[in-house]
Amino acid sequence: MSFVRVALDVPVATLFDYRAAAVASDDIGRCVLVPFGKKVAVGVIIELARTTSLPPQRVRSVLSILHDVPPLPPDVLALLKFCSDYYHHPLGEVVLNALPTRLRRRPVPKLQTASHYRLTQTGRAVDLTTLPQRATIKRELLRRLLAKSRAGVDAATLNAVAARAPAALKTMVALGWVERAPLAGATECGTPPRLGPGLELNPEQRTAIDSVRCAPAGFTPWLLLGITGSGKTEVYLQLIADALAGGKQALLLVPEINLTPQLEALVRARFPGIALVSLHSALNESERLHNWLAAQSGAAGIVLGTRLAIFTPLPRLGLIIVDEEHDASFKQMDGLRYSARDLALVRAKQRAIPIVLGSATPALETFHNALHGSYRMLTLTQRVNAVPPAIECVDTRRKPLIDGLSQALLNAVRETTKRGEQSLIFINRRGYAPVLICPGCGWTSGCHRCAAKLVLHLGDQRLRCHHCGHQERIPAACPQCGNQDLVPLGQGTQRIESALARIYPDARILRIDRDSTRRKHAWNEMRRQIHAQEVDILVGTQILAKGHDFPQLNLVGVVNADSSLYSTDFRAAERLFARLTQVAGRAGRGASRGRVLIQTEFPAHSLYQALRRHDYPAYAQELLAERRQAGFPPFVHQALLRAEASRLEVALDFLARAARNGARIKGAVTIYDPIPAGMARLAGLERAQLTVEARSRSALHAFLREWRAWLDAAAGRNVRWSLDVDPLEL
């Protein structure tokens, strides 16, 4: 009797034993249907076993093994097990999370795997004239296969030759003349990829590429530190070409879905003969499954995706690139709280392949590793065919603002528009105003479900919570005192757009934020308008800050930057510098030098001074010195235990008991007192947290493994908890 241990999508840190009559080692990683309670569930076989510790009457049988669904390969299973261990998350949820949604649900689709055949070396040597005269079908099959000896021919085309063609094809496979081939689009080992037109490399780009090419084979992490517009993407493309030429696949991770279409078009133009697939949440279930299967089969030479793509099976993986590696979007903020950037490093090490982390403002942890030799650093300090923009600070302390806009910025916008160039006003806050206020009694528009304010959206006359999604009508009068003169306080993208339309009535203004790009294909149409110069002034959030190349955009104005300058979050300054660097990098990517105006009440702050000098390394060193002195990452390692309950006292009590239990566990860790979360109420639940810290990563995880067992046993139905390893938000 054989048994299998199955991972199921349940929040339990265990595998489930089932009987399986006909099971083999190559079924590990394969999907199965099993009874679970009163339902039938989809699971994944993780292990085979000859015995089980369960009583015989409790062991149920596997209903079916889904042989038409490709199994997860050993390297992906190893990555998923590491992910489960490192982030202390149930293995079943980790494994099922890595599968396309369509494979996780019943009924599991019947997959039609298209067979593809090509000639072997023996088959290419067969002389057609020596075949018997009656072997007409074999002769015709050989002719067709010879005509496409490298790419191969799909089985349907070959079987259509004659009724007996399938039998003849089977015989030729047995003779060793024909073999199954990767699907069309896969790069044959050693075959140089067909390239579209590239760009001429400058000396820094050439040095970076040659450094990676000349490095010894195996795992090497590279930090590509390049200012915006310095040609990091061209370096990526050259390295991808090297991987494809060696018969390998390349995985290119990007932080945002909005970056994917533009980058995908660029990569397709460069590699017209290579199959490329994208993997991100904007795809429907069928598209995602199709692309995942193309990657898993080896048919796709290039996979372009957001964070979840790190788990994609890639049998010939030879290179991983993480673009904008500093971006917080690579960190999953709920459920399985993993970092795709960190797992990319683990996967590259497991596969013994190079990985390139690219950024103009790398995360301080990454920069610290490069400074100390754990990563190798490559630098690009010059823009390609352009110069960095001139960055100026507009002191707003003693100057009146018009709807949040300074006169200096308004004058610059007017001059830029007159020259036929484009301007961008950046404010990282959508809506009309952050809050509606009553000047009579001081009432503000708060969300009843969150510790946040309802944002005024004037266009559809609604107040919306940007955290839980609650929305309501704008009140006609103050709910507390009846005052009808309610006032919007602060600025959002809609209010800036309205002010600019009033000041420049002839200008063509386009607002780009999550509200305006919600409709499918809206962002693609907006990009077309910008490139076609159908827009004079852009108003946008961080959607516009990353990776976009608009040649006519020569002025960037930044509004409300100071709101992130003095924050309780020790990462706030690092994030602000990265955000401002990215948005400033949109200016002056064409023939003219760009200009950036940052409105601030603290123009002498070291952050703004380093930004004006385009000197991220100096500012990063300053932040690292502060982190070392304060005892923050990367000089310590942290985990955050969060608790949610209907009442704050319940959440705090659970965390206090967890802290007392943790104090009894031996280990060099520090457990801080429980406190309410930064946003103490979210979506109707009260939230609290406590931080665990250790100088050693191994000490932290040894503690968490033991502590996790108590947490599983102690939590009741009245409290929900989660563990976040290497948290980005405290």
Tell me, yes or no, whether 185 lies in a domain. Answer: no
Cβ-based neighbour number of residue 713 at 10 Å: 8
Q: How many angstroms separate the CA atoms of 664 and 687, rounded?
A: 25
Tell me, yes or no, whether 460 lies in a domain. Answer: no
**Token pair of 364 as six digits:** 């301080």
Q: How many angstroms separate the CA atoms of 386 and 229, rounded?
A: 8
Secondary structure (3-state) at 346: helix
Cβ-based neighbour number of residue 105 at 10 Å: 12
Tell me, yes or no, whether 690 lies in a domain. Answer: yes
CA angle 653, 727, 560 (to 5 degrees): 105
295 and 225 in a common domain: yes
Using the CB atoms, write b or e for 313-349: b if 16+ within 10 Å. Answer: bbebbbbbbbbbbbbebbbbeeeebbbbbbbbbbbbe
Residue 1, pLDDT > 60, answer no
Strands 669-671 and 685-694: antiparallel
Q: How far is CA 356 from the centre of its chain?
A: 15
Q: Where are the alpha helices (DSSP H) in 114-219?
A: 121-124, 136-147, 155-159, 165-174, 203-214
**Token pair of 402 as six digits:** 């018009």
Residue 21 has a pLDDT of 84
Mean pLDDT of the region 336-353:
97
Strands 220-226 and 302-305: unpaired
Domain that holds residue 78: 3-104
**Token pair of 118 as six digits:** 């090509």
Q: How many angstroms separate the CA atoms of 307 and 232, rounded?
A: 20
Among 373, 361, 322, residue whose Cα is nearest residue 617: 361
Residue 184 has a pLDDT of 44
Among 12, 115, 24, residue whose Cα is nearest residue 71: 24
412 and 530 in a common domain: yes
Secondary structure (3-state) at 695: coil
Amino acid at 130: T
695 and 615 in a common domain: no
Tell me, yes or no, whether 483 lies in a domain. Answer: no
The mean-pLDDT minimum among 120-124, 192-196, 325-329 falls in 192-196
Mean pLDDT of the region 611-638:
96
The mean-pLDDT minimum among 18-22, 554-558, 572-576 falls in 18-22
400 and 296 in a common domain: no
Strands 249-253 and 302-305: parallel
- The pLDDT tens digits for 660-705 are 999 999 889 999 999 999 889 999 999 999 999 999 999 999 999 9
The 8-class DSSP code of residue 588 comes to: T
Residue 188 has a pLDDT of 45
The 8-class DSSP code of residue 445 comes to: -
Residue after which a domain boundary falls, among 626, 656, 679 = 626
Peptide bond connecting 389 to the previous residue in cis, omega within 30 degrees of 0: no
More confident residue, 537 or 136: 537
85 and 18 in a common domain: yes
- The pLDDT tens digits for 480-519 are 999 999 999 888 999 999 999 999 999 999 999 888 888 8
Q: How many angstroms separate the CA atoms of 370 and 368, rounded?
A: 5
Residue after which a domain boundary falls, among 626, 655, 682 = 626
**Token pair of 475 as six digits:** 């009140």
Residue 724, pLDDT > 70, answer yes
| 446: β partners | 453
Tell me, yes or no, whether 45 lies in a domain. Answer: yes
Going 672 to 674 to 676 to 679, the CA torsion angle's sign is positive
Across all residues in the chain, what is the average pLDDT?
A: 90
Using the CB atoms, write b or e for 8-18: b if 16+ within 10 Å. Answer: bbbeeeebbbb
Residue 187 has a pLDDT of 45
340 and 312 in a common domain: yes
296 and 154 in a common domain: no
683 and 580 in a common domain: no
644 and 694 in a common domain: yes
356 and 313 in a common domain: yes
122 and 38 in a common domain: no
| pLDDT tier, 155 (very low <50, low <70, confident <90, very high otherwise) | low
361 and 282 in a common domain: yes
Residue 590 has a pLDDT of 74
The answer to whether residues 240 and 266 touch, using CB atoms and an 8 Å cutoff, is: no
Residue 90, pLDDT > 80, answer yes
Domain of residue 684, CATH code: 3.30.70.360
Peptide bond connecting 35 to the previous residue in cis, omega within 30 degrees of 0: no
Domain count, the chain: 5
Residue 198 has a pLDDT of 67
**C-alpha distances out from residue 537 to 80, 515, 532, 541, 598, Å:** 46, 18, 13, 13, 17
Q: How many angstroms separate the CA atoms of 305 and 316, rounded?
A: 17
Interhelix angle for 74-87 vs 340-351, to 10°?
A: 140
Tell me, yes or no, whether 264 lies in a domain. Answer: no
The answer to whether residues 249 and 243 touch, using CB atoms and an 8 Å cutoff, is: yes
| pLDDT tier, 717 (very low <50, low <70, confident <90, very high otherwise) | confident
Tell me, yes or no, whether 730 lies in a domain. Answer: no
Cβ-based neighbour number of residue 49 at 10 Å: 13
Mean pLDDT of the region 652-666:
95
Residue 149 has a pLDDT of 60
Domain of residue 214, CATH code: 3.40.50.300
Amino acid at 251: L
Interhelix angle for 165-174 vs 136-147, to 10°?
A: 70
**Token pair of 277 as six digits:** 């697939």
Tell me, yes or no, whether 270 lies in a domain. Answer: no
| pLDDT tier, 273 (very low <50, low <70, confident <90, very high otherwise) | confident
The mean-pLDDT minimum among 28-42, 188-202, 395-409, 635-649 falls in 188-202
Residue 9 has a pLDDT of 94
Residue after which a domain boundary falls, among 353, 380, 407 = 380
| C-alpha R_g of the chain | 29
Mean pLDDT of the region 19-47:
92
Q: How many angstroms separate the CA atoms of 634 and 372, rounded?
A: 12
Residue 478, pLDDT > 60, answer yes
Mean pLDDT of the region 646-657:
95
Share of the chain above pLDDT 90, in %: 64
Q: How many residues does the chain have?
A: 730
Number of H helices, E strands in the chain: 21, 32
- The pLDDT tens digits for 159-197 are 777 778 878 888 888 888 888 765 444 444 445 666 666
Amino acid at 364: L
